[in-house]
Amino acid sequence: MHTTLAGLNLANPTMLASGIMGYTAESFLQVAKGGAGAIVTKSVGTQPRTGYANPIVVQTKAGLINAVGLPNPGIDIFTEEIKYTKTLLHIPLIVSIFGYSAEDYATAAKKAANAGADAVELNVSCPHVKQTGAEIGQSPKLLAEVTQQVKAAINKPLIVKLSPNVTDLGVLAQAAVEAGADALTAINTLRAIAIDSETQQPILSNIKGGMSGPAIKPVALRCVYDLSQIVDVPIIGCGGITTWQDAVEFFLAGASAIQIGTAVADNMAVFSTITKGVESYLRQKHYKNVEEIVGLAHRK
Amino acid sequence: MLTENNTMRITQIVNIHTESPSVKTYTFVDKLCSTARPGQFLMLWIPGIDEIPLSIMGTTNDLVSVAVKAVGDATRHLHNLEAGATIGVRGPFGTSFTENTGRVLLIGGGTGIAPLLFLAKRLQPKATHLAFVEGAKTKTELLFVSELGGVCQEQNLITTTDDGTAGLQCLVTQPLANLLDKESFDMVYTCGPERMVKKIFDLAEQHKLPLEASLERLMRCGIGLCGSCMLGKYRVCRDGPVFTSTQLREVKDELGISKIGFDGSRIPI
């Protein structure tokens, strides 16, 4: 089920979402073996970070809330892992970058691209140093600034992963595309909290976290549906995708590819399972490729 | 991904027992974890402090026990708690030891003894011969000696201490070479620090003996998502913590040599 996306050649349109496994070449190889068409690494910044104390994940009825705190070795150490990975991996490696300023993003992205990353995905769900509390992905101005500077720093495909924690996702998407994003990933996790009634306190050490899993799938699907009417760049659907039916729904809503995160815990082969399911769906409905069904839910 | 095991249950500590100057065992009610098999682990939440992975050391009816050594902030805090204190539990997680019915040898150090004691109790009625080698720094840190003596008969229990205050004065791995030369075994089980496991793995390999080892790594999510506990291609929390010789051979370049640190970089063990 070969497809292309923003210049990337994908054996199939399933990718590992950022934040899952994703530190070492060996873990990327396992995901590739599970059938992924591409891999997005955990988010890497300019400096090492140890992340938050446990608990970093808590399960709710329909999903997980996580606040891992972006642990990462820093781009300078991670470039070695990128180089090593590129000698072993035969699918595109997309490096996720986070930062606290446009300069941070551009610096880390440039180093990742130079080390051999096939594309860069921006994680913009982190606070901006100069505007405490506000996520970069919540301000069209900051988002455009970050996207522009990264775009100028690399000549690899640039994907912006949108935060859903905004009033109007369309405005942010347009800002990212106008600033040079070659594709958009929708969506990152939804801000959430879990409180234990017995001890009467929040469970996550960071108090709040991001919700993923089946609970957010309808929200993510709606975001993709809306965005596909607003922007012309390809959209990568992400949020609670667990089955091939979920994947098909995202294609119909307008996604050209999908990312899988939470569902990987149970089944590393979820990528192959979903790809096979989508293939058989396409065959039954007499479509030649996945491109033919992208956005079909918009037909009047 | 959404399992009953991974839902946090709030429970109270019903009993705390001091095992050594640095180790206490904690018993609490948890139906799910009381179904655990030897080798599996749970995540224990100390509200407002931390959540830590612990090997399950025993189950009776709905009760579950874990052994905790005071080594860091979280475990020291746990040591200050009293019976009745509220904790959170999720699990059981991971793989377990197989139960060999032949001649078996269990070897471990520190709180690694806890899951091996659990296993030894299960093996006792099944195995034709059960030998146990336990090591510690000093006599007062040798855990569960009388219980182990009861499970495997005194003459089959070898103890070692670094300072010679009890048993043989040597590392726990030292009597192993001798024992493996002298006697035949069908399976070796181990749990403890990774460098010790590595030595035991090497010895078992030399003697062409199958081994099952329970490993400990930095664990955050406990469910195979965060990547903190990667050992080569394996997630220790999900594909382990119990690994077979065949699996350990695949990761021998990392076993006892390097692990993933808090910041995701590879660090020496």
The closest of A183, A254, A190, A260 to A224, measured between CA atoms, is A254
Stated as kind and residue range, the H or E segment containing A282 is: helix A270-284
Please give the pLDDT value at position B167: 94
Q: Is the CB of B263 less than 8 angstroms away from the CB of A199?
A: no
Chain segment A184-193, per-residue pLDDT in tens: 999 999 999 9
Using alpha carbons only, what angle is made at residue B126 by residues B122 and B127, rounded to the nearest 5 degrees? 100
Q: Report how many domains make up chain A.
A: 1
Q: How distant is the Cα of B105 from the closest Cα of chain A, in angstroms?
A: 32
Contact B209, B180 (CB under 8 A): yes
ipTM exceeds 0.90: yes
Q: Is the CB of B88 less than 8 angstroms away from the CB of A71?
A: no
> Cα–Cα distances in Å, from B31 out to A254, B41, B63, B67, B85?
45, 14, 7, 18, 18
Residue of A48, A196, A203 with shortest CB distance to B265? A48
Question: CB count, 10 Å around CB of B156?
Answer: 16
Output the tens digit of pLDDT for each of chain B's 269 residues: 688 999 999 999 999 999 999 999 999 999 999 999 999 999 999 999 999 999 999 999 999 999 999 999 999 999 999 999 999 999 999 999 999 999 999 999 999 999 999 999 999 999 999 999 999 999 999 999 999 999 988 889 999 999 999 999 999 999 999 899 999 999 999 999 999 999 999 999 999 999 999 999 999 999 999 999 999 999 999 999 999 999 999 999 999 999 999 999 999 99
Q: How many helices (H) and strands (E) does chain B have?
A: 6, 17
Enzyme catalytic residues of A: 126
Whole-prediction pTM: 0.95
Q: Which residues of B touch A77 (CB under 8 A)?
A: 265
- Residue boundaries of the structural domains of chain B: 9-93, 103-268
Q: Domain B103-268: which CATH class?
A: alpha beta
Please give the pLDDT value at position A132: 53
Residue of B51, B228, B232 with shortest CB distance to A26? B232
Q: Is the CB of B226 less than 8 angstroms away from the CB of A57?
A: yes
Mean pLDDT calculated for residue range A95-113: 96
CATH number of the domain within which A79 lies: 3.20.20.70
Q: How distant is the Cα of A172 from the closest Cα of chain B, in angstroms?
A: 28
Please give the pLDDT value at position A207: 95
Where does residue B164 fall: left (phi above 0), alpha (psi -120 to 50 degrees), or beta otherwise? Answer: left
Proportion of chain A above pLDDT 70, given as a percent: 97
Please give the pLDDT value at position A1: 86
What distance lies between CA A151 and its chain's CA centroid?
A: 18
Q: Is the CB of A73 less than 8 angstroms away from the CB of B263?
A: yes
Measure the CA–CA gap between B208 and B221, rounded to whole angstroms.
Answer: 35
Residues 110-139 of B with CB under 8 A from A: none
Q: How distant is the Cα of A22 from the closest Cα of chain B, in angstroms?
A: 6
Please give the pLDDT value at position A130: 61
Residue of B1, B10, B233 with shortest CB distance to A199? B10
Residue of A42, A54, A263 with shortest CB distance to B264? A42
Q: Domain B9-93: which CATH class?
A: mainly beta
